[in-house]
Amino acid sequence: MSAQVPAPIAGSERAALQGTTGTELFGDDKAIVAMRVNGQLQDLFRELPADAKVEPVRIDEPDGLNILRHSAAHVLAQAVQQINPDAKLGIGPPITDGFYYDFDVATPFVPEDLKALEKAMQKIINEGQTFSRRVVSDEEARAELADEPYKLELIGLKGNAGEAAEGADAEVGGGELTIYDNLRRDGSRAWGDLCRGPHLPSTKLIGNAFKLTRSAAAYWRGSEKNPQLQRVYGTAWPSKDELKAYLDRLAEAEKRDHRKLGAELDLFSFPDELGSGLPVFHPKGGVIKREMEDFVRRRHIEEGFSYVGSPHITKEGLFHTSGHLPYYADTMFPPMELEGAKYYLKAMNCPMHNLIYRSRGRSYRELPIRYFEFGSVYRYEKSGVVHGLTRVRGLTQDDSHSYCTPEQAPAEVKHLLDFVLSVLRDFGLDDFYLELSTRDTEGDKKDKFIGSDEEWEIATKVLEDVAKESGLELVPDPGGAAFYGPKISVQARDAIGRSWQMSTIQYDFNQPRGFELEYQAADGSRQRPVMIHSAKFGSLERFFGVLVEHYAGAFPPWLSPVQVLGVPVAEEFADYLGGVLDTLAAQGVRVELDDSDDRFPKKIRNASKSKVPFVLIAGEEDRSAGAVSFRYRDGSQKNAVPLADAVAEITSAIERRAQV
């Protein structure tokens, strides 16, 4: 029997005899590092079954990059145990743009350790060790890994590893148990690890395009109840040029880190006295926050939404009615006892909006009804995942809920998607793709989703049709839906190409049932509306953080806390320049005058660091001519601009929301 093998050249196929290995088929092309056999990733050294469909996996495609990085993680673990034989192994999966491996070691890793590990890894790589797969029984694995307590725990979790620990499926998966041995050229065993594979044919394919980037503490299996391990992060790429490009992106991302810029620009802080994930906005950050709120509040009203408000706490029963509590209890703050009842800090706004809808009878003539509020909600995120403004415990959502007939749902979803995209464009984000999150459809995982197959099918089709109609790339996210219905997520790429999940649109057929929401149809019957959730920012805090990084702190004029900074050449010109700023302030422009005792060159340096969009300078020539000179953020300058022209340029840039 033969196997059908698509050759690396698109559209062609080759026939291979049963028992042929991938190495024999693709050995001439060193860029091919693995193969898909009937859709399953496998090592090249494995033999092909009869009538198999075989596809090559190249090192520069997503699966190939994961295999490269997973193999690099194994080499890292081998290097760690060479240097420190007492180190115990956790897990080592590939992740976006890299890999990590967790270790139980007596002393945390320091930067000097990472340099030593890189040298040890390079030596292993240069030896050209091969990865060899062995199928073992549970008993054999336990005997062989008797000194590795974390591996023994994973063996006990086989078949449920994906839920047991992040990345654990890279170790044991859900099928047969395998160990990968690293073999020297003479066939002797250098090292081995519990793993489901696949791996590169040889460590030499890792080359020298890898780097260990940092180390951090991490709880075993992500639980603070478990031992704290040391996690070493790294990255690996097919070439040195790609590695350099990635490291350059990392350096640029570090310069744009919103936590660093937030402190430098005096925008926000995280006081220890408040606790983890609870930011405070300083006056300058408050200006940006207010501009964001005012703009989006006005846009919602223009799009037909009614502004509503709801309290920060509510009785426990409300979240049982909405269906949230059984699913989100672990991420809600503990209840408080008040007047013999349990009250929760609200973690979502939708149950309150349902009560507003239900407060009186509704007619089909009123639909769609759209409610919107800036609702503050509180979620108990674990301290290990709290991250600046992008993952907080107290957040404000620009939360909206549309109530419509089932027939109106497609048009309402389209209306919301168009609205979302227009808002993101207004804030300078214009590179998008969409993600469609659906439910799991198999086994026990399906049970965590509420509703019938028919309801899910209808809801998913509505979202999918609208998403496809938008013309944007649509990426599936199976299993990522909320318990009550599918959702579209808008993924926006920032100025350096990173993707951020921003807005969401969710179709909900559960809460209208739970709250017994109704409207009177044209025939007089009582019908149940469809509820569609949408958040344009997602959360205001996260969006704020993304904008800081997107703009590297240099906000466009309409968002900048200070839009114009006046810098007199000498003290005698301060009054003249102050009068110019007063004229601008009278038109609503946010201005400041630097009348400090600093010398002029230092004032200019300070102005550059503050990232103000317009710096106005005045000396004797400017005062005599009734003019000012402009200094822009890119360092360019325009001299002797008449006052009327200067005011017009500034106010026009603000009104147009120019990206300068």
Q: Which CATH class is domain 268-550?
A: alpha beta
Q: What are phi and psi of 591, to 5 degrees?
A: -125, 155
- The CATH T-level fold of domain 564-655 is Rossmann fold (3.40.50)
Give residue 482's pLDDT band: very low, low, confident or very high (50, 70, 90).
Answer: confident
Percent share of the chain, pLDDT over 90: 78
Task: With H, G, I as helix, E, B as strand and everything else as coil, classify residue 333.
Answer: coil
Active-site entry in 399, 508, 594, 622: 399
88 an active-site residue?
A: no
Give residue 169's pLDDT band: very low, low, confident or very high (50, 70, 90).
Answer: low
Task: With H, G, I as helix, E, B as strand and everything else as coil, classify residue 249.
Answer: helix
The pLDDT tens digits of the residues spanning 241-263 come to 999 999 999 999 999 999 999 99
Q: What are phi and psi of 646, to 5 degrees?
A: -65, -45
Dist CA 635 CA 654 (whole Å): 20
pLDDT at 368 over 50: yes
Active-site entry in 401, 550, 603, 631: 401
Q: Span 576-586, mean pLDDT?
A: 95
Active-site entry in 350, 415, 511, 563: 350
Question: Can you point out the beta strands (E) in 282-426?
Answer: 306-307, 313-315, 336-338, 341-345, 369-378, 394-404
pLDDT at 164 over 50: no
pLDDT at 178 over 80: yes
358 membership: H or E segment, kind and range = helix 350-358
pLDDT at 10 over 50: no
Dist CA 645 CA 79 (whole Å): 66
For all residues of the chain together, what is the average pLDDT?
91
Centre a 10 Å sphere on the Cβ of residue 120 and count the other Cβ atoms it contains.
17
Q: Span 217-233, mean pLDDT?
A: 91
Give residue 472's pLDDT band: very low, low, confident or very high (50, 70, 90).
Answer: very high
637 an active-site residue?
A: no
Centre a 10 Å sphere on the Cβ of residue 40 and count the other Cβ atoms it contains.
10
401 an active-site residue?
A: yes
Active-site entry in 397, 506, 511, 563: 397
Tokens of 489: 């997520």
Residue 387 annotated as binding site: no
Domain boundaries defined on the chain: 2-58, 65-253, 268-550, 564-655
Active-site entry in 533, 542, 550, 631: 533
Active-site entry in 487, 536, 590, 631: 487
Residue 533 annotated as binding site: yes
Q: Span 509-530, mean pLDDT?
A: 94
Q: In the prediction, which pLDDT does 167 show?
A: 53
The pLDDT tens digits of the residues spanning 49-81 come to 888 889 999 999 999 999 999 999 999 999 999
Question: Considering the domain 65-253, what is its CATH architecture?
Answer: 2-Layer Sandwich (3.30)
350 an active-site residue?
A: yes
pLDDT at 163 over 70: no
Percent share of the chain, pLDDT over 70: 94
pLDDT at 546 over 60: yes
The pLDDT tens digits of the residues spanning 556-567 come to 999 999 999 999
Q: In the prediction, which pLDDT does 177 show?
A: 92
pLDDT at 162 over 60: no
Q: Which residues are CB-contacts of 62 (< 8 A; sequence separation ≥ 6)?
A: none
Q: In the prediction, which pLDDT does 99 show?
A: 97
Q: In the prediction, which pLDDT does 14 show?
A: 54
Question: Can you point out the beta strands (E) in 346-473?
Answer: 369-378, 394-404, 432-438
Q: In the prediction, which pLDDT does 596 show?
A: 92
Q: Do domains 2-58 and 65-253 have the same CATH topology?
A: no
Whole-Å CA distances, 604 to 487, 560, 598, 612: 49, 18, 10, 11
CB 545 within 8 A of CB 388: yes
The pLDDT tens digits of the residues spanning 95-147 come to 999 999 999 999 999 999 999 999 999 999 999 999 999 999 999 999 999 99
The burial class, CB within 10 Å (0-12 / 13-18 / 19+), for 651 is: middle
Q: In the prediction, which pLDDT does 6 show?
A: 56
CATH no., domain 2-58: 3.10.20.30
Give residue 447's pLDDT band: very low, low, confident or very high (50, 70, 90).
Answer: low
The whole model's pTM is what? 0.84
533 an active-site residue?
A: yes
Residue 404 annotated as binding site: no
Q: In the prediction, which pLDDT does 652 show?
A: 96
Dist CA 560 CA 427 (whole Å): 12
pLDDT at 171 over 80: no
pLDDT at 651 over 90: yes
379 an active-site residue?
A: yes
